[in-house]
């Protein structure tokens, strides 16, 4: 919901910004175009103004140059004389000389009635030549004593001319007049250099001098914003129309001469002496094209600026968005860290409590263990004392009865029989001493002194000790000592005890069997010496294998075994850094293996 509104708001603001940018672009472009138009028009005006001043001066100069020529000629005596006389020949000569010298188009001498006495043009054209215009206006003005002036309008083919005339007096009387015709073509030639149309209009608004020959003699009609324009155009096709459209303080007119139509900047300068008006119509086409260029450039610049601004704005927005996101992420992270820290401290507390509980449990366990150890010790002691009491009670009872018997027999003087009883007593005592020795061996601390012991000797002596028993039994003893003469570090007597115990157990196991066999072999394997005692008796079952080395474990009948033999052997072998294990022999009986590390040299020899 929030997102949607935000999105909508973004679209709205984007549209608003676009509209604003477009409006601004139009305004800027418009203002720029107006300014540039004004600047260009200004430039055109300056140029046209200068040109107009020069061209108007050209016209004024041309006319000024001849304005004083008729009064001056009227002062000349020869002129007075020839006019008084009405001499055509003299008149033509003088007129031709003056015309040639002054550059006037024509110099004419007139009599009192206004008739031409002589003209500088006659020698070539003859009197009454075609197109010859009368100077009546100028003549009558001269006769009134003023400087006569008269414009002779031109047409599309011929440039116009201007006439100055002055009365000629002789002896206080007016005898005639002298007129000078000035050609306006030379002015038009000078004006032709100007690119823009230049016109001199007489007081009737007719073009008298111009650099556009086709306009010569045509009327210039002024209309305003199209008003009267249509009527005027339809009415007088020979007119030139100027539709005034004042713009930005400039006098802009739309010019229509029937052939071309263009917008022009009009500048006017009055020629007060003549009552004329000189105008230049500077083409504003260049201003307009430059203005539209400026318009386009301004619009482009605006679009570019708007685009740049837009991009910058977007970048800023993105930066702000990113900063906001970053801040949100940082806050989220901070919150998570806070939560995690809280979790962790709670976990820590839990752990500390658990550690405390564990320590308490451990303490309890240690206590229980100690109690268990104590209980186990007590149990072992109980078992041991039961076995020992049984072992000792039996011979003690026998000793007692034999002693009593011996006492009775001695009282009856039957020494021989008493001696037999005493022998039995001795045998019993011997047995008890043996039991006692066994116990002593069990309890004796492991000797710290280790010596090199030859295992061959150990096996030989054990067999020798057992030889009476072996002889009595019907058991086949197979000895294999061909593997060399391995030496280990240990105690010879204790190792003999181990081997003796293993062989004695094997003899027990095969006792009463037919083809009973006990094998003793000595091997070297890696850095170890191996004594293997195998038999073909019942073997030791898997379940019992973990128990046979426990003290007081026995399967033998009461009085036959204490269950200490294997546990003592195990202890002795481990004291010598070896180990004792039981598996099944080839014949299905038990196979006891004593594994002892070889003594240094022996090991070297073996390797
Ligand atoms: P004891 O000989 O006094 O019983 P031991 O520690 O020497 O004590 O032996 C423990 C038990 O291990 C024996 O009671 C017997 O069950 C078993 N045992 C030992 N050697 C052999 C063997 N070679 N064959 C089968 N059982 C054996």
Task: Give the Cα separation of 455 and 147 in Å (integer).
Answer: 174
Kindly tell me the burial class for residue 310, based on how many C-beta atoms sit within 10 Å of its own C-beta (0-12, 13-18, 19 or more). Answer: middle
Residues 527, 201: Cα–Cα separation, whole Å: 143
Which atom, in ligand 1's list, is nearest to the CA of 566?
6
Q: Which residues, at least 6 apart from 494, have a Cβ–Cβ distance to it below 8 Å?
A: 441, 447, 572, 575
Q: Is the CB of 561 under 6 A from ligand 1?
A: yes
Cβ neighbours for 459, distance < 8 A, ≥ 6 positions apart: 479, 481, 499, 520, 522, 531
C-beta 551 within 6 A of ligand 1: no
**Long-range contacts of 285-290, Cβ-Cβ distance < 8 Å, separation of 24 or more:** 286/40, 286/44, 287/37, 287/40, 287/41, 287/44, 288/37, 288/263, 290/36, 290/40
The token duo for 464 is: 């020798």
Domain definitions of the chain by residue range: 40-65+187-283, 68-183, 446-606
Four-point Cα dihedral 73, 77, 78, 84, nearest 10 = 100
- Cα of 584 vs centre of ligand 1, distance in Å, is 14
The residue length of the chain stands at 607
Looking at the domain 446-606, which fold is it?
A: Heat Shock Protein 90 (3.30.565)
State if residue 540 touches ligand 1 by the CB under 6 angstroms criterion: yes
Task: Determine the distance separating the centroid of ligand 1 and the alpha carbon of 580, expressed in angstroms.
Answer: 14
pLDDT of residue 235: 45
Phi-psi domain of 318 (left: phi exceeds 0; alpha: psi -120 through 50; beta: other): alpha
CB of 109 closer than 8 Å to CB of 91: yes
Fold match between 40-65+187-283 and 68-183? yes
| 168 CB within 6 A, ligand 1 | no
Full DSSP string of 147-165: -EEEEE---SSS--EEEEE
174 pocket-lining for ligand 1 (C-beta < 6 Å): no
Q: How far apart are CA 53 and CA 271, in angstroms?
A: 11
Just give the CATH number of 40-65+187-283: 3.30.450.20
In this predicted structure, what is the pLDDT of residue 606? 61
260: Cβ–Cβ under 8 A, 6 or more apart, which residues?
none
In this structure, which CATH number among 3.90.280.10, 3.30.450.20, 3.40.50.300, 3.90.1310.10 belongs to the domain 68-183? 3.30.450.20
End-to-end Cα spacing for the chain: 87
Rounded distance between C-alpha atoms, residue 523 and residue 173, angstroms: 185
CA separation (Å) from 11 to 8, 20, 33, 104? 5, 14, 32, 83
Check pocket membership of 535 for ligand 1, CB cut-off 6 A. Answer: yes
Q: What is residue 412's three-state secondary structure? A: coil
Write out pLDDT tens, residues 391-410: 678 778 888 888 998 999 99
Note every long-range contact of 220-228, with CB atoms under 8 Å and residues 24 or more positions apart, other chains counting. Answer: 222/253
Pocket flag, ligand 1, residue 516 (CB < 6 Å): no
Q: What is the pLDDT of residues 319-344, one digit of tens each?
A: 999 999 999 999 999 999 999 999 99
pTM: 0.48
Which residues of the chain fall short of a pLDDT of 70?
A: 1-4, 123-133, 225-237, 246-248, 369-370, 372-388, 390-391, 437-448, 558-559, 601-607
How far away, in angstroms, is 438 Cα from ligand 1 center? 15
């Amino acid at each position: 919901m929030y997102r949607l509104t935000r999105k909508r708001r973004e679209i709205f603001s984007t549209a608003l910004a676009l509209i604003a940018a477009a409006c601004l672009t139009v305004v800027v472009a418009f203002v720029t175009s107006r300014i540039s138009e004004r600047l260009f028009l200004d430039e055109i005006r300056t140029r046209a103004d200068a040109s107009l001043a020069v061209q108007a001066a050209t016209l004024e100069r041309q006319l000024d140059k001849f304005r004083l020529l008729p009064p001056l000629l009227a002062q000349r005596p020869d002129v007075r004389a020839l006019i008084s006389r009405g001499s055509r020949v003299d008149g033509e000569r003088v007129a031709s000389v003056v015309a040639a010298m002054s550059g006037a188009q024509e110099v004419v001498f007139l009599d009192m009635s206004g008739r031409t006495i002589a003209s500088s043009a006659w020698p070539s054209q003859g009197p009454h030549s075609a197109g010859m215009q009368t100077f009546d206006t100028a003549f009558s003005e001269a006769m009134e004593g003023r400087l006569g002036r008269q414009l002779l309008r031109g047409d599309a083919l011929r440039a116009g001319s201007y006439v100055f005339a002055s009365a000629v007096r002789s002896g206080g009387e007016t005898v005639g007049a002298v007129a000078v015709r000035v050609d306006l073509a030379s002015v038009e030639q000078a004006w032709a250099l100007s690119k823009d149309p230049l016109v001199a209009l007489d007081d009737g608004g007719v073009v008298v001098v111009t650099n556009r020959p086709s306009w010569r003699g045509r009327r210039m009609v002024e209309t305003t914003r199209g008003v009267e324009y249509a009527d005027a155009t339809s009415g007088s096709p020979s007119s030139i129309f100027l539709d005034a459209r004042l713009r930005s303080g400039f006098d802009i007119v739309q010019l229509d001469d029937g052939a071309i139509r263009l917008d022009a900047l009009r500048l006017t300068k009055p020629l007060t002496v003549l009552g004329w008006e000189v105008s230049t119509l500077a083409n504003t086409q260049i201003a307009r094209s430059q203005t539209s260029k400026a318009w386009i450039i301004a619009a482009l610049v605006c679009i570019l600026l708007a685009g740049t601004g837009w991009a910058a704005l977007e970048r800023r927005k993105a930066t702000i968005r990113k900063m906001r996101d970053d801040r949100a992420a940082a806050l989220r992270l901070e919150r998570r860290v806070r939560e995690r820290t809280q979790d962790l401290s709670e976990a820590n507390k839990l752990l500390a409590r658990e550690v405390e509980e564990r320590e308490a449990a451990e303490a309890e366990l240690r206590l229980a263990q100690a109690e268990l150890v104590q209980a186990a010790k007590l149990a072992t002691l109980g078992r041991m004392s039961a076995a020992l009491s049984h072992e000792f009670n039996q011979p003690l009872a026998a000793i007692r009865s034999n002693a009593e018997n011996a006492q009775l027999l001695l009282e009856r003087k039957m020494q021989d029989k008493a001696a037999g009883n005493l022998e039995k007593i001795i045998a019993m005592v011997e047995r008890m001493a043996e039991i006692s020795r066994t116990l002593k061996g069990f309890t004796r601390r492991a000797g710290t002194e280790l010596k090199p012991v030859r295992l061959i000797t150990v096996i030989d002596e054990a067999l020798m000790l057992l030889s009476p028993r072996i002889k009595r039994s019907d058991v086949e003893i197979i000895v294999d000592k061909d593997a060399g003469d391995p030496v280990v570090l240990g105690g010879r007597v204790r190792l003999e005890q181990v081997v003796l115990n293993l062989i004695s157990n094997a003899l027990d196991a095969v006792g009463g069997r037919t083809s009973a066999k006990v094998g003793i072999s000595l091997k070297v394997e890696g850095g170890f010496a191996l004594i293997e005692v195998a038999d073909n008796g019942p073997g030791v079952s898997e379940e019992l294998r973990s128990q046979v080395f426990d003290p007081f474990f026995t399967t033998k009948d009461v009085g036959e075994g204490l269950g200490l033999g294997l546990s003592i052997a195990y202890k002795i072998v481990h004291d010598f850094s070896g180990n004792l294990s039981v598996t099944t022999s080839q014949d299905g009986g038990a196979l006891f293996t004593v594994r002892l590390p070889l003594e240094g040299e022996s090991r070297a020899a073996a390797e």
